[in-house]
Amino acid sequence: MACQRCGECCRKVGFIVQPQKKMLDLLVAHGLIKDGDKQLKLTVWHDCQHLVWDGEFASCAIYDDRPEFCSDFLCPRARGGGKIQEARAMVGS
């Protein structure tokens, strides 16, 4: 399936952090992680400043200079990955 130009890949940033012990204890106390966990997966929802919209269709305004993280991204929705490239091509930017 080709890129749907939904823009979702450019609307969140996910990463893993390894908090210090005090913070781990706090996270366990809050029930955010289990006792013994060492890592925390975080997702920050935020529209990338380079995300542009053509109606309901997304594209990247800095495709040629986009971060490596973006160029390496393999989209589960669009086989082949990095399909924001297709989105950009569709709007001729």
Which position among 28, 33, 40, 51 is part of the footprint of ligand SF4 (CB under 6 A)?
51
List, as one string, the DSSP characters of 54-80: ETTEEEETTGGG--HHHHH---SSSTT
Residues in the chain: 93
- In angstroms, what is the minimal distance from the CB of 92 to ligand SF4? 16
CB 83 within 8 A of CB 3: yes
**Is residue 3 close enough to count as binding ligand SF4 by CB under 6 A?**
yes
Interface residues with ligand SF4 (CB under 6 A) are 3-10, 48, 50-51, 58, 60, 62, 66-67, 70, 75, 77-78, 83-84, 87
